[in-house]
Structure 1
Amino acid sequence: MTDHLPSPRVANIANGAGSSSLHDPTALYTVAQIRDIERATLSSIPPGTLMQRAAKAAASMALSLLKPPPGSAKVLLVAGPGNNGGDALVMACLLADAGLHPTVMVCADPARQPEDAQRALERAQAVGIRLIAPSAEAIRYPVDWDLVVDGLFGIGLTRAISGPLVALVEAINALRCPVLSLDIPSGLDADNGCVVGGVDGVAVVATHTLTFIGNKPGLHTNEGRDHAGEVQVAGLDIDLSAFSPARAFLGSERLFLSHLRKRRHSSHKGSYGDVTVVGGAQGMAGAPVLSSRAAAHCGAGRVFTAFLHNPPAYDFLHPELMCRDAVQLEFHTGVVVAGPGLGTSDEAYSVLERVLQSDCPLVLDADALNLLSRHRDLITLLSQRTAPAMLTPHPLEAARLLQSDTHQVQADRLTAASTLAQQCNAVVILKGSGSIIAAPDGSLVINPTGNPALATAGSGDVLAGMCGALLAQSLPCREAALAATWLHGQTADALVKQGVGPIGMTAGELIPAARQILNQLTEQHAQRHNPR
């Protein structure tokens, strides 16, 4: 296991900028916001300035991706219509100035290009840049490219890539060299992370994305993680006063670290709270056991596992878990995690109703969410509570709660999570690639950790148990959700680095590894703030 914090997936990149280096690269802006920032900036700077700045940042990043000596590198830039293609053309000129001999595939009618892009093409022609016609075959062979730059389409794309360009994108995706996308991988929606056109669409799969002005949510959620690769932000020296408040932020451990406390010698099990996991209908006893083990390993002082049917005498692997009958249990103290393996029977409804009528902090997962969607009176109970509550739906569960469908949820994950948080008066973790953490006050965070190893039965039960443990240790509800989601994903990342997955990793393997990372994180934070 690593003994240090991971590097962020996103960072600023130097572009000769002054104020841009002060801009938060984790702030996430919609396409509409970026357009507003562009318009406000273009009115006060000479024409072509932003394109020059973008190209300079991109050329710098391209050079960093090439093996020395870069002068012999074979670089292909694919320049599409619009200013994204203009960025690629100016970038090619800068690479030529640096001693390279780039090739530009021009995929646009010069007569229909914006003025800045037309000037960029004229300059490329004037300095002798090699320009070639669009051709998937020219991408595939005869040259073994060292780097391909995707400047085909930017954030303005609203319809699926079509015609011969589909084959061109597929040819780029078949390459094994680094692929650098400018602003956004062509074909990806910058707001929602969907491939434009859905199942009929295609998008570039980049190894690196240099996004301009501000970071975009679509790079970090939904299909964005599969297409964007490593993301860096070039602020283009835009004054911070041009930026409106960000809609969302990219998560990091810094959002919750201050709430982690190193344990005092003078403490006891009561110092770290109780967690009661409620679930375990017939044939589903494993789910609450996984949640309970996760809660215990993540620091809850005592953990009770309440089964709807046939509670065992004890957990053979972890006898410290206390097994109870959920039907007879009173919910007066501690944190309740309800739903793992609970089922949707009348008996399950009755137990969940009593849970919602309690004053306990709650984590509602799995079948608790299904019961809420089937019985809207339970949502009313939930929304009227004053104690903290957290919901952990996957997209289908969220769709049921919103009386929508999975496609609509995935088409705007940020809005879906935010709407659900406000309707239920709860912090919501909308699970998936780039899980969304939404609070009733409208705050939104996209979690950057995790990988496909988590696509396995029981990993959601483990997350619910982690949430319960952190709530029990007095983390505020939003910070507990941020911490648990980050820890859950980071544990999977660490295990994959060790060769445990992504194929075949089981949910139970997350639990002891999460304990180790949580302890490392807490210790490192304590040493920073109290080094004695």
Structure 2
Amino acid sequence: MRLVTGREMRAIEAAADAAGLSYAAMMDRAGAAVAAAVNPLADGPIVVLAGPGNNGGDGLVAARLLADEGRPVRVLVWRRRLAGDPLVAAVTRHDGVQWAHTDEADALARLGAWLADAEVVVDALLGTGADRPLTGIVADILDAVSARRDRLFVIAADLPTGLDADTGALDPHTVRADVTVTFGYPKRGHMTWTGGPVVGKLVIEGIGIPEAVGDGPAAGAVRGGPAGGGDRAHAIPPPTLEISTAATVAAVLPPRPPHAHKGTFGSVLVVGGSASFAGAPYFAGAAAYRSGCGLVTLAVPHGIQRSLVALLPEATWLPLPEADGALDAPAAADVAAAWGAYTAVVLGPGLTTRPGARAFVEALLDAAGGGRADAGASAGQRRSPPPPMVVDADALNIVAELDGGPARLPPRSVLTPHPREMARLTGIGVDDVNADRIGCARRAASAWGHVVVLKGAYTVVADPSGHTTVNPFAVPALATAGTGDVLGGVIAGLMAQALDGHTAAVAATHLHALAGEIAAGFAGARGVMAGDVLAAVAGALEELEG
């Protein structure tokens, strides 16, 4: 499902109208969806805040439908003419509706009285139309709601008023919603660190838009809006920015044929570990197995191998030479000699950034052809190129300090930085990374030629081609040590089963987030550990495939 800007959504609506789905029909569906979201929340009075344009129209339709059901409805109309507006007329003439217009001197006082008794507020003031700071009476309206926010359910139509549809920038007067019902497609602002907390639960209502208009082959054509409309002749870009869904992920999961054997499902080589971070390669390797991979080998320092065998007896082992409890440069030759037997590699879990580990990574990349020479091979000898590689954790931190940076990695590697690691790789500040996560990931993927997985709430997966997918989850239970190693293992496990890097990363981030939610269900959001997420990966797969 595509993720759109406000301007793109308006162009899609114009195209749908031109194709025969009228604005009025779309508004009826949108209003019905808002009313449906209100119904389960409470039985008491409902206050609908209706502004100009389509967003206010959605709220007025919802108000009429709720009043038709006998619900006590109060409507405050802002910046909308009373005369000649059939939506306003349907509400103001309804026996079950009390209403006021902000042009009336006592409008705010009446709103205050309504809010004192209300159980639900519908915010249909601006939606995607919020493109400047909120001032004057609209700010006063929202502040009145905020003053009573702790005893109200708030439903936002499309977006909470004051949330920028494109950037997620938030006006200080914005009221946090419990539920946001968005129309057509989710907006970029919903999937941002600033926007997510005020959106609440996001409900996506398709409002009848034909697939060919928004997602199909017709997308990308130039379509005009109504004569003189502000979006006339705006192009609808092809859907290169999407969100992952359960259906799209389930559709790409590798098949499990009944005649299969372990070789059918590929093999993963996990390279990392140290005396300080012995558990990291275990989590990555076990997660690769949980994703369906047929064989996992852990290439770890000799000194920690014995302790890990008891944790993961299903694995095979490549014990490596070490120095001071971490891998050192001589280990690179052993890894490079072995990786040709595997279908995916994870590099980095628990590696450390000690000088020996840095020398190991540099020697390994030289052996992969990403350095000055094949330093691990004797004269006239050429090793197999590395299989598809997931680069995680301290391997990313080391790469950030090497001459050439990510360009040293094998082509189309999958990099999985969190924001601080991304800041090191790109040379910009963490705040700059988080201010434009989609743009940052896209620019890096294009410049480096790798798939970039920018982790965090609403993880971004960007392909060098520009195709980008946002994971629609924000799961605080995943904010604990080791869960990133689990994600790296799931990505590699799916790549080992012949998924390309971008597809594997999209599926893995969705599975990982779902596993986090499952783990929070039995361990509590505060008590989740990486082992809980690992244990839940199989259940997440079963849920998607069921």
Tell me the TM-score range normalised by the shorter chain: 0.7 to 0.9
Q: Secondary structure at the match of 2:129?
A: coil
> 1:373 offset after TM fit, Å?
2.2
Query: 1:304 and 2:272 equivalent?
Result: no
> 1:505 offset after TM fit, Å?
0.5
Name the counterpart of 1:512.
Answer: 535
The letter for the 2-side match of 1:291 is A
Name the counterpart of 2:241.
Answer: 248
What percent identity do the matched residue pairs reach?
A: 32
Name the counterpart of 2:150.
Answer: 174
Q: Report the Cα distance in structure 1 between the residues aligned to 2:435 and 2:514, rounded to whole angstroms.
A: 26
Within 5 Å, give how 1:152-191 maps onto structure 2.
152-161=125-134, 164-165=140-141, 167-171=143-147, 173-177=149-153, 179-191=154-166
Q: Secondary structure at the match of 1:29?
A: coil
Contact 1:210–1:232 (Cα < 8 Å) also in 2? yes
Give the paired residue count.
479
Within 5 Å, give how 1:398-413 maps onto structure 2.
398-413=422-437
Q: Secondary structure at the match of 1:484?
A: helix
Decide which moves more: 236-245 or 388-397: 236-245
Contact 1:363–1:467 (Cα < 8 Å) also in 2? yes
Q: Secondary structure at the match of 1:287?
A: helix
| CA deviation map 1:455-488 (0-9, x unaligned) | 1111111101111222222222222112211111
Q: Report the Cα distance in structure 1 between the residues aligned to 2:265 and 2:428, rounded to whole angstroms.
A: 39
The letter for the 2-side match of 1:188 is L
Name the counterpart of 1:349.
Answer: 358
| CA deviation map 1:94-144 (0-9, x unaligned) | 5444544410134x3x4xx57999775566445574234236983785314
Q: Report the Cα distance in structure 2 between the residues aligned to 1:399 and 1:340, rounded to whole angstroms.
A: 19
Larger Rg: 2
Within 5 Å, give how 1:50-65 maps onto structure 2.
50=23, 53-55=26-28, 57-63=30-36, 65=38
Q: Report the Cα distance in structure 2 between the residues aligned to 1:483 and 1:136, rounded to whole angstroms.
A: 51
Q: Report the Cα distance in structure 1 between the residues aligned to 2:274 and 2:93, rounded to whole angstroms.
A: 74
The letter for the 1-side match of 2:7 is A
Q: Secondary structure at the match of 1:311?
A: helix
The letter for the 1-side match of 2:117 is V
Contact 2:46–2:118 (Cα < 8 Å) also in 1? no
Within 5 Å, give how 1:348-427 maps onto structure 2.
348-356=357-365, 357=368, 358-382=385-409, 385-386=410-411, 388-427=412-451
Could you tell me which of 162, 169, 174 is aligned with 1:203? Answer: 174
Name the counterpart of 2:46.
Answer: 75
> 1:309 offset after TM fit, Å?
8.0
Name the counterpart of 2:203.
Answer: 231
The letter for the 1-side match of 2:313 is P
TM-score (norm 2): 0.77
Q: Report the Cα distance in structure 2 between the residues aligned to 1:462 and 1:303, rounded to whole angstroms.
A: 14
> 1:286 offset after TM fit, Å?
2.3
Q: Report the Cα distance in structure 2 between the residues aligned to 1:140 and 1:342, rounded to whole angstroms.
A: 60
Contact 1:308–1:342 (Cα < 8 Å) also in 2? no
Decide which moves more: 248-257 or 332-341: 248-257
Name the counterpart of 2:117.
Answer: 143
Q: Report the Cα distance in structure 2 between the residues aligned to 1:346 and 1:66, rounded to whole angstroms.
A: 62
Name the counterpart of 1:267.
Answer: 261
Q: Secondary structure at the match of 2:127?
A: coil
Contact 1:427–1:478 (Cα < 8 Å) also in 2? yes
TM-score (norm 1): 0.79
Q: Report the Cα distance in structure 2 between the residues aligned to 1:135 and 1:444, rounded to whole angstroms.
A: 48
Name the counterpart of 1:467.
Answer: 491
Q: Report the Cα distance in structure 1 between the residues aligned to 2:356 and 2:51, rounded to whole angstroms.
A: 60
| CA deviation map 1:472-523 (0-9, x unaligned) | 22222222112211111111222333x322111001111122134435656x
Instruction: Check 1:60–1:378 CA distance in 2 against 1; reply closer, same or farther (3 A cut).
Output: closer
Q: Report the Cα distance in structure 2 between the residues aligned to 1:355 and 1:442, rounded to whole angstroms.
A: 29
Contact 2:142–2:175 (Cα < 8 Å) also in 1? no
Instruction: Check 1:139–1:320 CA distance in 2 against 1; reply closer, same or farther (3 A cut).
Output: farther
Contact 1:160–1:196 (Cα < 8 Å) also in 2? no
Instruction: Check 1:56–1:521 CA distance in 2 against 1; reply closer, same or farther (3 A cut).
Output: closer
Q: Report the Cα distance in structure 1 between the residues aligned to 2:47 and 2:468, rounded to whole angstroms.
A: 38
Q: Report the Cα distance in structure 2 between the residues aligned to 1:496 and 1:432, rounded to whole angstroms.
A: 17
Instruction: Check 1:137–1:266 CA distance in 2 against 1; reply closer, same or farther (3 A cut).
Output: closer
Name the counterpart of 2:233.
Answer: none
Query: 1:337 and 2:305 equivalent?
Result: no
Decide which moves more: 152-161 or 116-125: 116-125
Q: Report the Cα distance in structure 1 between the residues aligned to 2:429 and 2:493, rounded to whole angstroms.
A: 31
Name the counterpart of 1:489.
Answer: 513
Q: Report the Cα distance in structure 2 between the residues aligned to 1:377 and 1:359, rounded to whole angstroms.
A: 19
Q: CA RMSD in A?
A: 3.4
Q: Report the Cα distance in structure 1 between the residues aligned to 2:83 and 2:17, rounded to whole angstroms.
A: 12
Q: Report the Cα distance in structure 2 between the residues aligned to 1:140 and 1:402, rounded to whole angstroms.
A: 52
Name the counterpart of 2:306.
Answer: 313
Instruction: Check 1:360–1:473 CA distance in 2 against 1; reply closer, same or farther (3 A cut).
Output: same
Q: Report the Cα distance in structure 2 between the residues aligned to 1:448 and 1:236, rounded to whole angstroms.
A: 22
Within 5 Å, give how 1:261-300 maps onto structure 2.
261-265=255-259, 267-268=261-262, 270-300=263-293
Higher-RCO chain (CA-CA 8 Å, sequence separation at least 6) = 1
Q: Report the Cα distance in structure 2 between the residues aligned to 1:39 and 1:516, rounded to whole angstroms.
A: 42
> 1:397 offset after TM fit, Å?
1.9
Contact 1:135–1:168 (Cα < 8 Å) also in 2? no
Within 5 Å, give how 1:11-30 maps onto structure 2.
26-30=1-5
